Amino acid sequence: MTSNSYRDPSHLPHESSRERDVRERLSHLLGTTPIRSEYLIDNLALYMRRHQLTDLLSMDELYRMILDVPGVIMEFGVLHGRHLATLTALRGMYEHYDTARRIIGFDTFNGFPDIADVDEVSPSAVVGRFATPPGYPEHLREVLAAHEAGEASGHVRRTFAIEGDVRETLPKYLADHPETVIALAYFDLDLYEPTRHALEAIQPYLTRGSVIAFDEIGYPRWPGETVAVRETMGLAGSALRKLATPRDPRSCTCAGVSDERQRVMTNVEARPRPGTAPATPTDLPERLAASAAQAPRSAAEIAGWLDERRRGNPSTVERVPFADLTGWEFAAGSGDLVHSTGRFFSVHGLRVRTDYGHRPEWEQPIIDQRDVAILGIVAREIDGVLHFLMQAKMEPGNVNTVQLSPTVQATSSNYLRAHKGAASRYVEYFIDRTRGRALVDVLQSEQGSWFVGKRNRNVVVEALGPVEPHDDFIWLTLGEIFALLREPHLVNMDARTVLSCLPIPTPGGASSTSWRTMPEVRSWLTERKANYALAADYAPLASVSGWRRTADEIVHDEERYFRVIGVRVSASNREVPGWCQPLLAPCSTGLAAFVMRRIGGTPHVLARADLRPGYRDVVEVGPTVQCTPDNYTGRPADEWPAYLDLVLSRRVRPIFDVVQSEEGGRFHHALTRHLIVEVGGGFPLGTPPDFAWLTLDQLGELTRHSYQLDMEARSLLLCLRGLATYR
């Protein structure tokens, strides 16, 4: 870069005379300060104008916007580097150990290189304007290095000042750093040409949540920035807003104070990107409805593919005594069944006391799995239709070994490879947020009678680029999945819960009539949660009353409910080729049933506020009936669950009746009959306090929040969605 002869004027054209007087007075006082140099650096705020304080607060707000967004920070137009220094300090405050958060500043350091016609309206638009003194870039780098040295990870250089025309230096930087993801781009280039070039260059490197901030957008004296934004991004599709930083209300009386200009930013999360579906949330139900209407392959064809994968990936599951359960042991003293590493899960006792139902207290074994699993499905549009990447996954407890599961179904112990095995395929889409955008992401519970405090991340991520399916994976439309749900043991429990959380619209449009409003539903559920007492306390497995341990199982004295058994597994398509583990084996088939009737022409289901000892929040909304009927054999009828006799009788019309599998990673041949029965208009609308009539849309609304709709109700909801589509 050649030197130039331009000299900055002492009178800045955008300042009022009062602002100029204040600046010059404080500059003089700073230059003649009696504060000793070793103390001056700690007292510079003494000479700081409100404009500089506003600037610092603006940088702080911008930084806090991207704390959850991976990637680098780029500033275009550095001048003396105050923003680079401020951002470096903020990184030290907010992200002490994030060695990947680079901060890169681009500037000619020799002033404006050229001026376009659109910029000539500004009296400051002069070639060479805003040049720094000779040798200044090196001085700036030394200052930034000193700031970095005080950070927790100061040994790693992470702040850079790149000298040269951004139209040349930025493309070179991006070519040299193909790993770049941009979390924040701050534009203060003033001029049209460099702003336009930089905006075009960075767009492929932006991700969901990236922030682009502008210093001069909408500012009459510097129109070039606004024109560049309009031409490259389009203002109509951008979410623009002003930074909410404090401003002196008197500043409006000071004509054209540049440091008080409104900073405006756009968050690219709200902006469609080339080759991807629009990011607006309102279009998702429509896209899901279109996917539900498409089923180009029959259930038999897909089931045939699943059979091929089953034959192509042989596996064995052998029941073994606890003594042969390699890697597992009964802990001394407590008798809890635990893994030798302390990872994965354990089986211990639970002592339960409650005022819900007919049994005020009992003890039982229960699975304790503290790992939060990812139940994640990758989605993308293929030929304009949303598809979901499903996995042919072997689980030792599956009645047919292999079922369709989410793209990723793995606890943190698994995807962090505590088993020392292979990595989980496609897990990067749920760990690296730059690879896609979340369509659904919510923590949900699982079976509260068998797990204590269990929760999994139910997430669907739409990939931002092509995804090549492995041989054990298949792209399916929602319509194809609905067809598979009408057959037993094809779509596993984890896939059903994730898909149930999608905002799939009710055919025919949103429910026009509901028996209760949504606020009334929430009030009813809150009341039920508050109404019941539940104390579920840890108990040593060795001392759980009513249960006994043999050489190869833990079983109830009446041989009801479930058993805990051990299995040895070999599998050719899992992360490790073989392992041993306990499984919970129910003694008979369960039942999850909804009673459905139309109210005002709108289908409603009779839902129950259901208490289970393992729930995190006492009560969740469940089906009308949720039980194992054989557990009530020989018991008085008044101890049977409400409506059990109704759903099993001939007084109702079954409209859906399929046996589905529960999760095969922890349960052995756990089967639940999914039953939906319809009653006529004469069926009473009045219900006991624990029951409420809800629409499908209201059930769907509950899935948006954690611990409101239980596992069995979510599974039935997906079946209802598919049933409605087919009807």
Q: pLDDT per residue over 497-547, tens digit each?
A: 999 999 999 875 555 689 999 999 999 999 999 999 999 999 999 999 999
Among 364, 337, 361, residue whose Cα is nearest residue 350: 364
Asked if the model's pLDDT at residue 271 lies above 60, the reply is: no
User: Can you give the pLDDT at residue 55?
Assistant: 85
**How much is the pTM?**
0.64
- The pLDDT confidence band at residue 50, using thresholds 50, 70 and 90, is confident
Distance CA 727, CA 720 (A): 10
- Amino acid (one-letter) located at 580: C
Residue intervals in the chain for CATH 3.90.79.40: 285-726
Least confident of 208-217, 663-672, 717-726: 717-726
Q: What angle is formed at CA 572 by the lines to CA 566 and CA 577, rounded to 5 degrees?
A: 55
The distance from CA 610 to its chain's CA centroid, rounded to whole angstroms, is 27
From 6, 27, 4, 5, select the one nearest 15 (Cα to Cα).
Answer: 27
Across residues 219-223, what is the average pLDDT?
Answer: 87
Average pLDDT rounded to a whole number, residues 454-466 = 93
The rounded percent of the chain whose pLDDT value lies above 70 is 89
Beta carbons of 241 and 265 less than 8 angstroms apart: yes
Q: What's residue 52's pLDDT?
A: 82
Q: Name the architecture of domain 50-270.
A: 3-Layer(aba) Sandwich (3.40)
Q: Vertex 257, ends 255 and 258: CA angle to 5°?
A: 140
Mean pLDDT for the stretch of residues 5-33: 73
Residue type, 313: N
Residue 278's pLDDT is 33
Write out pLDDT tens, residues 688-713: 999 999 999 999 999 999 999 999 99
- N-to-C CA span, the chain: 72
What pLDDT is recorded for position 254?
25
CB 683 within 8 A of CB 597: yes
Nearest residue to 108 via CA among 168, 23, 175: 168
Contacting residues for 543 by C-beta, under 8 A, at least 6 apart: 335, 349
Quick: pLDDT tens for 240-259. Answer: 777 755 443 323 222 222 33
Share of the chain above pLDDT 90, in %: 69
Contacts of 347 (CB under 8 A, 6+ apart): 336, 337, 338, 365, 366, 367, 368, 541, 554, 564, 582, 584
pLDDT beyond 70 at 273: no
pLDDT exceeds 70 at position 328:
yes
Residue 268 pLDDT > 70? no
pLDDT value, residue 23: 82
CA distance 238 to 206: 14
pLDDT score at 238: 60
The predicted structure's pLDDT at residue 503: 96
Residue found under tokens 């029965």: 677
pLDDT digits (tens, 9 = 90+) for 371-409: 888 999 999 999 999 999 999 999 999 999 999 999 999
What CA–CA distance (Å, rounded) separates 625 from 713? 10
Please list the residues that pair with 610 across neighbouring strands.
620
Q: Which fold has domain 285-726?
A: Nucleoside Triphosphate Pyrophosphohydrolase (3.90.79)
Question: Hey, what are 35's tokens?
Answer: 């504060």
* Residue 660 confidence (pLDDT) above 70: yes
List 598's β-bridge partners, or say none.
Answer: 603
pLDDT score for 325: 97
Q: Three-class SS of residue 252? A: helix
pLDDT tens for each residue of 334-374: 999 999 988 889 999 999 999 999 999 999 999 999 888 89
Calculate mean pLDDT across residues 608-619.
96
Question: CATH 3.40.50.150: which residues of the chain?
Answer: 50-270
Least confident window among 96-100, 663-667, 714-718: 96-100
Q: What does the CA dihedral 405, 408, 410, 414 come to, rounded to 10 degrees? A: 130
pLDDT value at 465 more than 50: yes
**Is a pLDDT exceeding 60 seen at residue 288?**
yes
Residues 554, 563: contact at Cβ < 8 Å?
yes
Please write down the HEC assignment for all residues of 434-472.
HHEEEEEEEEEECCCCCECCCEEEEEEEEECCCCCCCCC
364: which residues sit within 8 A by CB, 6+ positions away?
Answer: 349, 350, 352, 544, 546, 547, 561, 613
- Indicate whether 260 pLDDT > 50: no
pLDDT of residue 591: 98
Residue 119 pLDDT exceeds 80: yes
Cα atoms in the 13 Å half-sphere on the side-chain side of 264: 14
Do the Cβ atoms of 378 and 406 come closer than 8 Å?
no
CA angle 282, 284, 289 (to 5 degrees): 120
Tell me: the pLDDT tens digits for 144-183? 999 988 776 667 789 999 999 999 999 999 999 988 999 9
pLDDT higher than threshold 80 for residue 192: yes
Beta strands in 485-589 (DSSP E): 534-539, 547-549, 553-556, 562-571, 578-586
Which segment of 430-434, 463-467, 539-543 scores lowest on mean pLDDT? 430-434
| Residue 270 CA, distance from chain mean position | 16
The rounded mean pLDDT for the chain is: 88
